[in-house]
Amino acid sequence: MAQNDLMSNAEDVADQFLRVTKQYLPHIARLCLISTFLEDGIRMWFQWSEQKEYIETTWGCGFFLATLFVLINLLGQLGGCILILSRNFVQYACFGLFGLIALQTVAYSILWDPKFLMRNLALGGGLLLLLAESRSEGRSMFAGVPTMRESSPKQYMQLGGRVLLVLMFMTLLHFDTSFLSILQNLVGTALIVLVAIGFKTKLAALTLVIWLLVINVYFNAFWTIPAYKPMHDFLKYDFFQTTSVIGGLLLVVALGPGGVSMDEKKKEW
């Protein structure tokens, strides 16, 4: 009984948070979600020579193709971020960023690194949720016009986005025998399963947002490392990738889990 009361109180707090932040939450979520693309695009500008040299040396593709690769990444990421933030051609911007994720996965050999591959897939999950949100906005223009039930494409975008987002947490699990580590793994795994299946979704996603914020600020504090040290760039990369996943989770909080979820099925029961 006490456990049910605790869960009920927690859900009330989550609902109250959503009511207070309803107008601002989607905007904050989008900004967080595109932050890693924005940072990477800016980094391409300031590290133009280093990025071009890396691609040219690694792939032996010559000056022209290496330059073209860096230029496409720079313009594609910054342009996509501008379109998403301005709410113009959002779907095209998302597809462009999907393409850049795939391009970077191959170019930087991320395909063979499970940790970074899962993080890139989690970014793709965030973009899927953004696509689902853009479909919602498109239909809202015809308010008052009778429509069929929520379209299947949007439902499955939300499902795919939720499942891909939880891959980020698989990279945060620590496999050792200390009590604190085991507790963190159990709690974290329970939360990501709840988000993936869409049960108590808003509460679970909001809890994960808070957990990720704490982990991100504590473990990825790149601002405490001098800029000339390699660790600065590694932590910065992790910080903004994690921030993007936080943005995806905030979209889950703002939009709900969608039609393919246990929360939605409970309404039918």
Q: Is the Cβ–Cβ distance between 203 and 211 less than 8 Å?
A: no
**Using an 8 Å Cβ cutoff, are 91 and 132 in contact?**
no
CA distance 50 to 43: 10
Share of the chain above pLDDT 70, in %: 89
CA neighbours within 13 Å on the CB side: how many for 220?
Answer: 18
pLDDT the model gives residue 51: 92
* Upper half-sphere CA count for residue 17 (Cβ side, 13 Å): 17
- pLDDT exceeds cutoff 90 at 79: yes
User: If we measure between CA atoms, which residue out of 82, 80, 83 comes closest to residue 96?
Assistant: 80
> Which carries the bigger pLDDT value, residue 220 or residue 269?
220
Write out pLDDT tens, residues 133-183.
Answer: 887 655 444 344 444 444 578 888 888 888 898 887 777 766 667 777 777
Amino acid type, 69: F
24-77 residue pLDDT tens? 898 999 999 999 999 999 999 999 999 999 999 999 888 999 999 999 999 999
Q: Which domain holds residue 55?
A: 1-266
How many separate domains does the chain show?
1
- Contact call for residues 108 and 51 (beta carbons, < 8 A): no
